[in-house]
Amino acid sequence: MDSAMTTNTLKLPEKATKKRDWIETVFHLLFLGCAMVGVLSVATIAWFVFHEGLPAFQQAGISEIIFGREWLPPALFGIAPMIVASLISTLGAVIIGVPIAILTAVFLAELAPKWLANLVRPAVELLAGIPSVVYGFFGLVIIVPMIEVLFHIPAGNTILAGIIVLAIMILPTVITISETSLRALPSTYKEAALALGASHIYSIFRVLIPAARSGIYTGISLGVARAIGETMAIIMVMGNAPAMPGSLLEPARTLTANIAMEMSYATGIHASALYSTGIVLLVFIVLLNASLLYLNHKRSH
Partner 1 sequence: MKKVIGLVAALGLMASPLTQANTAITVSGSTSVTNVMEVLGETYQQLTNQTVEVQGTGSSAGIRAAKDGTSMIGMSSRDVKDSEVTADTKEIVIARDGIAVTINNKNAVSNLSKEQIAKIYRGELKNWNEVGGENRPIVVVTRDAASGTRGAFEDIMKLKREVNGMKVSAITSSAQVGNGNGMVKTIVANNPYAIGYISLGSVDDSLKAVSVDGAAPSSKTIASGDYSIARPFVLLIKEDVDPAANKFIDYILSEDGQKIVEAQGYIRVN
Name the residue nearer to partner 1 (CB basis): 23 or 75: 75
Distance from CA of residue 157 to its chain's centroid?
23
Q: What CA–CA distance (Å, rounded) separates 202 from 193?
A: 9
Name the residue nearer to partner 1 (CB basis): 106 or 160: 160
Binding mask 103-142 for partner 1 (x = CB under 8 A): -------------------------------------xx-
Contact 245/84 with Cβ under 8 angstroms?
yes
Beta strands in 1-128 (DSSP E): 71-72, 76-77
CB of 225 to partner 1, least distance (A): 23
Figure out which of the listed residues 73, 80, 84, 194 binds partner 1, where binding follows CB under 8 A: 73
Distance from CA of residue 172 to its chain's centroid?
12
Name the residue nearer to partner 1 (CB basis): 20 or 69: 69
CB atoms within 10 A of CB 274: 23
Asked whether position 264 contacts partner 1 by CB under 8 A, the answer is yes
With CB under 8 A as the rule, give the number of residues binding partner 1. Answer: 34
Asked whether position 185 contacts partner 1 by CB under 8 A, the answer is no
Figure out which of the listed residues 265, 297, 298, 301 binds partner 1, where binding follows CB under 8 A: 265
Q: What CA–CA distance (Å, rounded) separates 23 from 38?
A: 24
Contact 127/168 with Cβ under 8 angstroms?
yes
Asked whether position 175 contacts partner 1 by CB under 8 A, the answer is no
Which of these ranges, 1-9, 50-58, 149-157, 287-295, lies near partner 1 under the rule CB under 8 A? 149-157
Figure out which of the listed residues 26, 35, 72, 290 binds partner 1, where binding follows CB under 8 A: 72
Q: Cα torsion for 61, 66, 69, 70, to the nearest 10°? A: 50
Asked whether position 268 contacts partner 1 by CB under 8 A, the answer is no
Asked whether position 55 contacts partner 1 by CB under 8 A, the answer is no
Figure out which of the listed residues 68, 70, 117, 127 binds partner 1, where binding follows CB under 8 A: 70
Asked whether position 76 contacts partner 1 by CB under 8 A, the answer is yes
CB of 30 to partner 1, least distance (A): 30
Asked whether position 226 contacts partner 1 by CB under 8 A, the answer is no
Phi, psi of 263 (to 5 degrees): -60, -35
Residues 6 or more apart whose Cβ sits within 8 Å of residue 242: 70, 71, 81, 82, 253, 258
Asked whether position 256 contacts partner 1 by CB under 8 A, the answer is no
Phi, psi of 249 (to 5 degrees): -100, 30
Residues 6 or more apart whose Cβ sits within 8 Å of residue 294: none
Asked whether position 242 contacts partner 1 by CB under 8 A, the answer is yes
Contact 55/272 with Cβ under 8 angstroms?
yes
Give the residues lining the site for partner 1 (CB under 8 A).
70-76, 140-141, 144-145, 148, 154-157, 235-236, 239-243, 250-251, 253, 260-262, 264-267, 270
